């Protein structure tokens, strides 16, 4: 079978299984297979060699990859890799796959910190938010917190891959956190429990439910983050959260009731409300209130 036939048949199998962007995933799996074998795998190679006959063992290995994707295992869990903020992160079934939506949170955070600041990333998962900040903003130090020890193993490995120093702590939110930070950032579980069964199979069946389920109304983690975390924000420091697109008003109210100032919402590239932030008052501002 030629490489072109392999990719065409792979795309057909994935499309029949209901996989979104089936043809693109079929190509990515061939690219991944050849890359893992130390062979050239870019588009130019494919265009020049697509009519060549694939080796029998290569065809068999490719079919096995297609079968896994047809079971709706996320492409990123098969390849073990996802790009985020221009950086490559290792992912597996123990962490959420970094999404472009979350880059809005990182971009907002970059505008709130400066060299010398300490950052806390709550519900860190793969570490993509914290490690991106430390990589892209010189002079920051940071800690990532997660309740999942398996997720923290992924975050630690990503720190090594990116040659970026960060500390990681296993804790139920702020239970074991000490000290205060110039910025607390979080992409917590925020999907309402009853909505979980309606998610795409890739998400519902293969990503960690504990990183998705935000309680009955999807807001419990925001309540706890503000209630338990506000004293861990330095005066003048910020709390920034990724939110679901209908949650801005409620989360903004939590921050206002928690005494935060300059509370605002930021939309993502699709025009959806994606980030909510607030600033802890400085001492003189508290006196004015």
281 annotated to a ligand binding site? no
Please report the pLDDT score of residue 72 as a whole number: 97
Instruction: Say what the pLDDT of residue 283 is.
Output: 79
Averaged pLDDT of the chain: 95
Residue 226 tokens, joined: 């503000």
Residues 6+ apart with CB under 8 A from 48: none
- Using 70 as the pLDDT threshold, list the residues of the chain that sit under it: 286-289
pLDDT tens for residues 197-246? 999 999 999 999 999 999 999 999 999 999 999 999 999 999 999 999 99
What is the pLDDT at residue 287?
53
| Rounded Cα distance, 187 and 193, in Å | 17
What integer pLDDT is reported at residue 40 of this predicted model?
A: 87
What would the pLDDT profile of 234-282 be if each residue is shown by its tens digit? 999 999 999 999 999 999 999 999 999 999 999 999 999 999 999 999 9
Q: Say what the pLDDT of residue 286 is.
A: 65
User: Domain-by-domain residue ranges, the chain?
Assistant: 3-71, 85-288
Q: What is the pLDDT of residue 284?
A: 73
For residue 197, say whether it is annotated as part of any ligand binding site. Answer: no
The fold adopted by the segment(s) 85-288 is Rossmann fold (3.40.50)
Does 146 show up as a binding residue in the annotation? yes
């Amino acid at each position: 079978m030629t490489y072109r036939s392999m990719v065409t048949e792979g795309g057909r199998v994935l499309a029949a299984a209901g996989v979104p962007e089936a043809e693109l995933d079929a190509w990515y799996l061939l690219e991944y297979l050849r890359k893992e074998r130390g062979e050239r795998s870019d588009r130019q190679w494919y265009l020049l060699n697509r009519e060549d006959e694939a080796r029998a063992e290569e065809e068999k290995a490719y079919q096995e990859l297609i079968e896994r994707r047809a079971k709706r295992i996320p492409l990123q869990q098969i390849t073990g890799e996802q790009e985020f903020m221009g950086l490559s992160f290792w992912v597996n079934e123990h962490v959420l796959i970094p999404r472009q939506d979350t880059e809005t949170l990182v971009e907002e955070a970059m505008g709130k910190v400066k060299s010398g600041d300490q950052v806390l990333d709550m519900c860190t998962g793969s570490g993509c938010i914290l490690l991106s900040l430390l990589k892209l903003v010189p002079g920051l130090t940071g800690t990532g917190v997660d309740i999942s020890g398996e997720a923290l193993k992924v975050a630690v490995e990503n720190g090594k891959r990116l040659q970026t120093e960060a500390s990681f702590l296993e804790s139920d939110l702020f239970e074991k956190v000490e000290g205060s930070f110039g910025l607390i950032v979080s992409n917590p579980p925020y999907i309402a429990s009853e909505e979980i069964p309606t998610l795409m199979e890739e998400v519902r069946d293969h990503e960690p439910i504990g990183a998705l389920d935000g309680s009955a109304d999807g807001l419990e983690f925001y309540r706890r983050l503000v209630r338990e975390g506000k004293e861990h924000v330095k005066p003048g420091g910020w709390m920034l959260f990724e939110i679901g697109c209908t949650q801005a008003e409620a989360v903004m109210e939590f921050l206002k009731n928690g005494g935060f100032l300059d509370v605002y919402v930021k939309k993502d590239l699709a025009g959806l409300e994606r980030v909510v932030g607030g600033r802890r008052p400085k001492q003189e501002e508290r006196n004015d209130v």
